[in-house]
Structure 1
Amino acid sequence: MNRDPRAASSAPPPAPHGIRALFSLKDAPSRWPVGLRAAICAGAPLLVGWLTGQTAAGLMATLGAFTALYGSGRPYLNRARYLALIALAFAFTVALGMSVKTIPPLAVPTIVVIAMAATYICSALRVGGPGAYMFTLTCAAGTAVPATGMAPGLAGLLVLAGGAFSWVVHMVPALFRPRGPEKHAVAAAARAVAAYARTAGSAGQTGAQHRAALALNAAWAALVTYQPTHGRQGAALNGLRGISRQLHLLFAETIRSGARGGTLDPAVADKAAHLATVAVNPPPATTPHGSIPLGAPGPWEALRTGLRRGSVSELVVLRVGVAALVAGIAAGLLELQRAYWAVAAAVLILHMGMDWMRTLQRGAERLVGTWIGLLLAGAVLAVHPQGLWLVAVVMVLQFVIEVTVMRNYALAAVFITTVALTIASGGQKVDDVAGLLLARGVDTTIGCGIALAVFALLTPRAKITRIPEALTATLDAAGTVVDFLAASEANTRRAHLARRELQAAVFTLGAAYDTAVGGPSEQRRAAEQCWPAVSAAQTLAYSILSLCWMLGRSDVDMDGEITGAFGPDTGGLAAVHEAFGILKAAILTGGTPEPLPELPRFLSQETATLRDSLPVAPH
């Protein structure tokens, strides 16, 4: 008798939202080292400016200190190139903004172009927070910077100097722990796999599985994607790759046991937890452990993918461009003194490409944090700190921002508002503090309102359009990997490309579900009906990927079983493709799938579970 997957697989619990989210703290890793680094990078240029009698120049250089907010977790060699580009981009955007300041008709179009270009690049390349927002902010700030008489070229050099200092601070730990980021990524993946193994068979299994997959992917990016293509890799890196391979095998073992309802050996979780400690001081290896699957697509390939018609990046860039343009025009018509605040607020709400509920939440958090922050900013501006006191205020504010931003954005926005107004004052006494605060609040409110309106207008009305498409894309990618399994070529370069595509399809499927479940109520209800199919498709994909990892493992005889199932006289491969075709037809039509043909044992249960989860909600 077929079991009902709806009873066996519950959707992950929603994150706190609404008023409750404004006053709750999310679970997040400790960020005090990041906060300390950001504080030093923001304070040092300001300190130099004060010591040389050029406080305004020091405040300008702090714009380059935003470089410190990027690149955490990347291996140091990759981070060096990455941060250098970030620093150059900040210098360019500030200089560009100052250059068009004297030509008012060009100011808004320039900001819009920078916002769209930065959003596209950051989205396609998966640049983490604060993403495109800071590039838009620095360009917009350049159009209204109070540094009278400062040439754009000089401003760009000052910003570049601040970015160069941030680069140095970022790179100093490489002298003491050259493989620190890679070790941290592998240890985090080991802890995630251990947590997944402990939850196998429970209600939290699916969420833990997805978190473990993401952590393994992040670790592999640190070990492969962000490593130089040519040159000696070193014994430490090869040792970490060996640990990562063991984690993939443990992950695969957990998946296959859970998919069949078997009892998982408790030692699996203990092994994964032990590998987290081993990763801190990995055993050296002179050669890689087994085959090395490919890392994520390179930057040029990712940028080309982002240009595909109908991609998520395309929609996000369109929203950002329209919102920035409308906010700039509205600010001009309303004769707002600092129009760039409205533009920056609009970009902030939209550039991350979140779903409706999280976008609405981010807008509320920004507004509440801004209006409360105006009280603190007013106190700071009224006191008018100078010299070392100004340096201390900026450093403390920047530190608090970084340690709170992942836990409660509304709280962080209080301090973001304060430090922004402190820097915007240019170190000068503000005569009309109340007017400045009111302008900031009004501009931010206008920008947030425009962003939410643009999101609502530029959101596809289909209930769950992306979920069926993502489900069929996952099955297509899974079928390609099965072809390589059948041909005993699962570890060739072409197979690695196919495996990477399947992994990406699984992540895209999860993102499609998250977006739909965060949408309006009708879309959310439809998406929740699709959850059993989404969960089953993810498990099927991970099971196929786990087969690839387990091939050649000495203690598991999978090679003979797979070869026998896909022999020329068995019809196993044709049966798999026939089954996948039946499932895709049912997904696209919203109908009940036909009975499936007899499948190889190692795929039969997962495929049957997906069939039992259909049909998906109407679309």
Structure 2
Amino acid sequence: MLFQFRDAKRRWPFASRAALCMGIPVVVGWAVGDTSAGLMATLGAFTALYGSDRPYLNRAFYLALIALAFAVAVSVGLLAQTTPWTVVPVIAMMAMVATFLCNALRVSPPGAFMFTLVCAAGTAIDAPHLTIWHTALLVAAGGGVAWLAHMIGAFFWPRGPERKAVATAAEAVARFIEAVGTPAQDAARHHAALTMQESWTTLVRFQPPKPRPDGTLSRLRAMGRELNQLFAEAMNATAPLPESAAIKARHIGAEAQKPHPEAERTDPGHVPLGHPGVLASLRESLRPWSPALLVTLRVGIATAIAGTIGAMLGLERAYWCIAAAMLILHQGLDWARTLQRGLERMAGTLVGLLLAGAILVLQPEGLWIAVTLMALQFTIEMIVIRNYALAVIFITAAALTIAAGGHPVPDVGHLLWVRGVDTVIGCVVGLTVFALSRPRFATSRVPDELVRTLNAIAAVIGPMSRGDVLTPTARAARHDLQHRAITLLQAYDRSVGSSPRHGEQVERMWPAVVTTQRLAYRVLSTCWAMEADGEAKARETALSLFGPNGASAMRDALLELGRSARNQKQPAIAAPLPAFVATEMQNLRDSLVTESN
């Protein structure tokens, strides 16, 4: 796994931008005669690693907030520096706050790690000629450089992120259509649903509330609705769809990238909502034993222990222990991937120390520091997705080059030895904390999420049985159901990689998980089809689907299935169920019976 290269397409624009943002502050610092200040500003330049998939207007506010957070983080670190005994608790607390917020709000990688690293770096900055405010302004200036670099594309391709989101969703829907009736159907359906949700987040959640009816955004939303209809047709298909359906999806994707000016598409008025909003995400993450809270707790314990060990051993920069412990925990990966991440970090760091040593011995000055950092950052971003262990080699070299602050290192060998020890301590502590905390998480989360998904299905059935598919209440219920279906499979993916014993327990739940997800998408796709028929026809369709008692029978059955999933008892379903979900309901009952046995 350490030598496996994963696919990552067209990384060079992002890598070039990140490298440029890293080099500009150093060049400016050199030009004004203070290279160390320029290196300090590179801490804010890490803003360039965030928000590249967001629409430009939303991106402008998002990146400004990221840059401000970096400035605050380094200021907190500088304040802790004045009282040495507070350094470890402060960094551990920063790690916990950043981890919770980034997991709850779905901040993409590098996520919480960079905020903690910047705070930790603040505790070790040796710049007596600069006040805390001056340092914070330097970091903010580095963030400003990244902000400008991120926003330049708005002048050339103002709706680029939105177009890309629709095109990506179109390809995912096309692949799902092609997979109908094959063993790859379930995985393709989940990927298409997840990609569609990401697309609607870009088209709706990250946008002003009322776009122009005839504008580009409105046309892209209309294309997204067409993809929704294709997805619904594929969900309701009892046999493989004709090739023309996948061709149509790909045509929509191509048109999203290069739309025809004469295309007459307007905002459909009612569209899916994508990911939950900020407040809804925070409420869900504050639920007891939520993934975000558990990951935060792990990070807090691991960083406190790693930092304490580093301090007790007298390591000059104990925050490296904290950074290593947090790095392998903050994303909330399963045991297999966490173990892999720890091994990759240790192996990559030990090799990277050789490269870092060579750079520190050569001691680049002035513009050569900028060139070195730009080359390292470009290489990191080009390979970090393909092979993390290889990327860590260059991450280690870049971190030590920045930490040197443009000054000679008196004892390079000692610095490299300490960094290696710090990394090993942090990774071992992080893995140990994870290993001791995973069993309860692995065995309880999947049944809980399965019950929540069944409850969400029941919430949709009420308005759906009356033909109310366009009211705000009905749309909110459908939005929650789609979110729950995706969260269910994510819970399974995270839990199945647990220890062999607990992983086997979770793996036995797979038939129930996949059948519940099929049921959820069957209900959603039927709602989408009813929505396309119009309000009057929807009521007729609802009556034919449910009849006089179908809705209450289905809600009772879902309640019974939920009890069975939680208590592992055989469900008893006696009343006849609506035909359009009868197969999925029976399959779910059978999967729960097998599991309880």
Q: Tell me the TM-score normalised to structure 2 length.
A: 0.96
Question: Counterparts of 1:186-585 in structure 2 under 5 Å?
Answer: 186-230=166-210, 232=212, 235-257=215-237, 260=238, 262-282=239-259, 287-461=266-440, 464-553=443-532, 560-567=540-547, 570-585=548-563
- Paired residue for 2:93? 113
Confirm or deny: 8 A CA contact 2:570 2:596 kept in the other structure: no
Q: Tell me, in whole angstroms, the C-alpha distance in 2 between the residues paired with 1:229 and 1:275.
A: 24
Give how far 1:507 is off.
1.6
**Alignment identity in percent?**
48
- Paired residue for 1:594? 572
Give how far 1:408 is off.
1.1
Amino acid of the structure 2 residue aligned with 1:526:
Q
Give how far 1:457 is off.
2.2
Q: Deviations over 1:327-353 (max 9, x none)?
A: 111111100011110111111111111
Residue 102 of structure 2 corresponds to residue 122 of structure 1: yes
Question: Structure 2 unaligned runs (5+)?
Answer: none
Question: Structure 1 unaligned runs (5+)?
Answer: 1-20
Confirm or deny: 8 A CA contact 2:174 2:246 kept in the other structure: yes
- Paired residue for 1:23? 3
RMSD of aligned C-alpha atoms?
A: 1.9
Confirm or deny: 8 A CA contact 1:471 1:537 kept in the other structure: yes
Higher share of residues assigned helix:
2
Give how far 1:484 is off.
1.2
Larger CA deviation: 92-101 vs 337-346:
92-101
Give how far 1:555 is off.
11
| Partner SS, residue 614 of structure 1 | helix
| Partner SS, residue 440 of structure 2 | coil
Residue 39 of structure 2 corresponds to residue 59 of structure 1: yes
Residue 124 of structure 2 corresponds to residue 144 of structure 1: yes
Pairing partner for 1:611 from 578, 589, 595 = 589
Q: Tell me, in whole angstroms, the C-alpha distance in 1 between the residues paired with 2:280 and 2:587.
A: 35
Give how far 1:594 is off.
2.9
- Paired residue for 1:6? none
Q: How many residues align?
A: 594
Residue 67 of structure 2 corresponds to residue 87 of structure 1: yes
Larger CA deviation: 607-616 vs 28-37:
607-616
Give how far 1:268 is off.
1.3
Amino acid of the structure 2 residue aligned with 1:601:
A
Confirm or deny: 8 A CA contact 2:342 2:427 kept in the other structure: yes
Amino acid of the structure 2 residue aligned with 1:275:
I
Larger CA deviation: 21-30 vs 538-547:
21-30
Confirm or deny: 8 A CA contact 2:229 2:528 kept in the other structure: yes
Amino acid of the structure 2 residue aligned with 1:289:
P
Confirm or deny: 8 A CA contact 1:74 1:226 kept in the other structure: yes
Confirm or deny: 8 A CA contact 1:533 1:616 kept in the other structure: no
> Aligned in 2, Cα 1:429/1:618: closer, same or farther, shift over 3 Å?
farther
Q: Deviations over 1:552-609 (max 9, x none)?
A: 4359976533222334xx2111221132133223322323333553222211122222
Q: Tell me, in whole angstroms, the C-alpha distance in 2 between the residues paired with 1:590 and 1:616.
A: 10
Q: Tell me, in whole angstroms, the C-alpha distance in 2 between the residues paired with 1:412 and 1:445.
A: 17
Q: Tell me, in whole angstroms, the C-alpha distance in 2 between the residues paired with 1:422 and 1:183.
A: 39
Give how far 1:207 is off.
1.1
Confirm or deny: 8 A CA contact 1:590 1:616 kept in the other structure: no
| Partner SS, residue 30 of structure 1 | coil
Q: Tell me, in whole angstroms, the C-alpha distance in 1 between the residues paired with 2:241 and 2:583.
A: 17
Give how far 1:364 is off.
0.7
> Aligned in 2, Cα 1:154/1:290: closer, same or farther, shift over 3 Å?
closer
Q: Tell me the TM-score normalised to structure 1 length.
A: 0.93
| Partner SS, residue 577 of structure 1 | helix
Give how far 1:270 is off.
1.1
Q: Deviations over 1:429-465 (max 9, x none)?
A: 2121111111111001111111111112233436521
Confirm or deny: 8 A CA contact 1:68 1:170 kept in the other structure: yes
Confirm or deny: 8 A CA contact 2:302 2:429 kept in the other structure: yes
Confirm or deny: 8 A CA contact 2:325 2:429 kept in the other structure: yes
Confirm or deny: 8 A CA contact 1:527 1:617 kept in the other structure: no
